[in-house]
Structure 1
């Protein structure tokens, strides 16, 4: 009971300890074992994970991803027979597409699998093949494969770094450094340590493949698999920071916040991925609802002499989210002063929004106009400036045109549909306004502003009962001045015929 309570509360380490005691008392119970396995992986207790896995295997209810850890263990021990067994079992599972890719790195025959799994597994296979070519000294073929993938499949930073490490090990330093060229801070810092600790062996290749897959698993319900993949990758290469980041992200999404933060703390300050770890630490606290902790971490990063534009923006975003709009505007201004930021439309939009929320519309307006000038096809910029002017009764004709353009560019965005509907309503066209705002409310049923607008339009159309239903829906999530205004509307209707 204590273990399950800790499990439900996201305290993975305490839960794992409790399940370990329970499993010791009932050593063949698969129900306890399956819980012990997942919490052991989350807490990093691989001894318990293996023991629980053995119980599940004996009961013939082992999950298919257990063979990933079994294979990593066999590689760690150089146990070829164990590798074959794990690969054969994996080949017959829903994760079968991994088996031939893993077999390549240990020079074993690829087990037969049904199909190739689709486009994403094919991408993994192509990347795996390119890295394997480089690792085995087939440099010319490997470089050609890398270039093809970067041309066709996008400029993936992790793949570039993995290929560069193998190229540096093969004596192709110039080609390796060319792969890391650009403004990505992680790749720039990694250039200084190219080739160090990169043996290009099975441990290297398998840990990169498993981490690649773990990093791609961000959908709800995939966290246990991502944890298994990243733990197995770290079993083979404990110094691979990218696997540690993937693990921390998966742990946090699985509500194991303390374990996620501990995983990030293990990343040294001079690691090329240190800034990524700092950013993820902030996101983890945000997800957990710990906004004060997130703000403290973001402030610490923003105060550094080498603070990045991204770090400043992150801090400003949090300040804005927590209602400190004036402070946020000042931090956005610092970010805009950084080299290369003068043409970033999103910074103008964010600073304009912060100034607007701080009550300084006169200063906000030129920021928002500049955002639209820099990005005339960006729906977010058009929507913000258009709606802000319509709601104030300013520049109505041009502002409505902006909202029409935004809606044409992003017809499924409920916020934009609501903005255009509100412009129609303010112009007195109820017939055009109602379907837009009703559609927006269907797409975003919890949105306070959209539901309030819907109630206002219903009221103006004489549909008083429906208006109160819409306002009551809006009041569920409303806070502060919004909540007070909605209470008055529910009691007395809008303060004017326009609202």
Structure 2
């Protein structure tokens, strides 16, 4: 790496840059920071390298990619201009330079940058929308006619109907937009999209989502960054970006993106919920709990805010606190007369916490209430039935519930496992095997399924296969279950080590 960096820097006059060894070391450190995900250090390193050697296109390209990914648009724009001057600008760079001119409200230059974008074979489909929004802001030209050039295009045509509606709203024809699109946009878009910044932000945000759904996350992230650059105060773009970064396992950048959603924004609650999840994902559960408690204690909090607190308490192995949190969630739901489809999930969560806290009678009451209001929900049928099986209570009724759940969702691994397990408990081990094998094949990393399969194999004298299944269970088992599973692997199944 040092040799390569030195070679790249070798063509620059010595008096114009720092000593070659110093720059080589800086390049190595910048690349190492980039690989390690240290955004700040990587950005600073590439920016310093560009300043020291503005003619080095390899450095400029890496600086551009790093800066766009990290959202450092000043560095990205500087690198883009360097690359553009040498005719080495990547395709997405034309979109960035066009957005820059839109943001500066220089409509002549914005138009020129748009025409350059139009010639790009990858992102030229964006040009008709740029032209339309420039017409809205500059009051020169017919925005709708300009956007219509994208209608029917293989890629850009996907966004035409929405962009047309936004253009109508921005030009004072909201009623026409509603008539064309119906209730889909009523009461939402007019307050969010006022001009070119927000209109183009929506375009890039939806393009970004499409790319991510096609498993093109790196390019989707770049388009997400373009969306947030187009309209820095447009909270939907920041939320989308944060979700993309979370998917890409970059919680640090995702949290930074959420910082751009102010507390008084209509989407502040969504941002806070995502922040709590990101902190939890990062192992910062104390910080996540503090955020969740703050959300639950605020005026106007929803039942789900308290449920989120309960989830965190359960993850922290504090079931008594979780019970209190879920009790608050259910009480708030009752006060709000929550619909059954929103109520039963809270009751199942409450039952899980009560069971974990050792209060089976109260857990049973919560389960029975969930079943009473949602007797046709497969998840309810499975959880209620399986909870009874764990306690060896009313096995026949529990089995009937699980059989019904399986008819509703025959491909659900958890339900198939429950169905196989209840057959085993009723003495039908041979019939249980294919069900448990199918569940394990569908969800190979689920420890409960693998342990069940191992227990059934052992009961049929298939000891080698039983130990194989138990070893698979041990890989992902919770700490509280590891001793039981390890004992079975060592000495075999006994009444004391049977799966609960």
**TM-score class normalised by the smaller sequence:** 0.7 to 0.9
What are the equivalent positions in structure 2 for 1:109-128 lying under 5 Å apart?
Answer: 109=146, 116-117=153-154, 124-128=159-163
Q: Which has the larger radius of gyration?
A: 2
Give the corresponding residue for 2:455: 456
Shift of 1:494: 1.2
Match of 2:118 among 87, 95, 112: 87
Matches within 5 A, 1:252-271: 252-271=246-265
CA contact (8 A) 1:162 1:208 kept: no
Matches of 1:364 and 1:468, distance apart in 2: 33
Trace 1:94-173 onto structure 2 (pairs within 5 A): 95=123, 97-107=125-135, 109=146, 116-117=153-154, 124-147=159-182, 150=184, 159-160=185-186, 162-165=188-191
Per-residue CA distance 1:426-472 (angstroms, 9 max, x = gap): 11112221111111111111111111111111111111011111111
Does 2:434 match 1:469? no
Within 5 Å, give how 1:15-26 maps onto structure 2. Answer: 15-25=42-52
Rounded Cα–Cα distance in structure 2 between residues aligned with 1:325 and 1:490: 30
Match of 2:478? Answer: 479
Alignment deviations for residues 61-111 of structure 1 (CA, whole Å, 9 cap, x no partner): 65443333222113223221111111331xx21x55544334332347469
Partner of 1:225: 219
1:397 is the counterpart of 2:425: no
Per-residue deviation, 1:284: 1.6
For the residues of structure 1 that align with 2:35 and 2:365, how far apart are their CA atoms? 49
Instruction: Choose the corresponding residue for 1:72, options 96, 99, 103.
Output: 99
Q: Offset of 1:122 from its aligned partner?
A: 5.3
Is it true that 1:282 corresponds to 2:279 in the alignment? no
Residue of structure 1 aligned with 2:320, choices 313, 322, 326:
326
Q: Equivalences for 1:206-221 in 2 at 5 Å? A: 206-214=200-208, 219=213
Q: What is the CA–CA distance in structure 2 between the aligned matches of 1:211 and 1:161, rounded to whole Å?
A: 20
Partner residue in 2 for 1:367 = 366
Are the structure 2 counterparts of residues 220 and 116 from structure 1 closer, same or farther at C-alpha, using a change threshold of 3 Å? closer
Match for residue 340 of structure 1?
337
| Deviation at residue 360 of structure 1 after TM alignment | 1.4
The one of 58, 63, 68 aligned to 1:41: 68
Q: String of CA shifts for 1:179-238, please: whole Å, max 9, x gaps.
A: xxxxxxxxxxxxxxxxxxx6x332232123223444566559544434433433343332
CA displacement, residues 262-303 of structure 1 (integer Å, 9 cap, x when unaligned): 333343322222222211211221233333322222122223
Aligned length: 453
CA deviation profile, 1:150-185 (whole Å, cap 9, x unmatched): 2xxxxxxxx55553328xxxxxxxxxxxxxxxxxxx
Query: What CA distance in whole angstroms lies between the structure 2 residues aligned with 1:61 and 1:385?
Result: 62
Q: Which is further off, 123-132 or 447-456? A: 123-132
Give the alignment's TM-score, normalised by structure 1: 0.82
- Give the direction of change, closer, same or farther, for the CA distance of 1:328–1:122 in structure 2 (3 Å limit): farther
Instruction: Check whether the contact 2:150–2:157 (CA below 8 A) recurs between aligned residues.
Output: no
CA distance in 1, matches of 2:83, 2:148: 24
After TM superposition, give the deviation of residue 114 of structure 1 in Å.
11
Inter-CA distance 488–243: structure 2 relative to 1 (3 Å threshold): same
Against the structure 1 CA distance between its residues 486 and 47, is the aligned structure 2 distance closer, same or farther, given a 3 Å change threshold?
A: same
Alignment match, 1:186: none
Distance in 1 (alpha carbons) for counterparts of 2:492 and 2:271:
50
SS in 1 for 2:119: helix
- By relative contact order (CA 8 Å, sep 6+), the higher-ranking structure is 1
CA offset at residue 26 of structure 1? Answer: 5.2
Structure-2 separation of matches of 1:160 and 1:228: 30
- For residues 48 and 368 of structure 2, what CA distance do their matches in structure 1 show? 63
Pick from 45, 49, 53 the counterpart of residue 80 of structure 2: 53
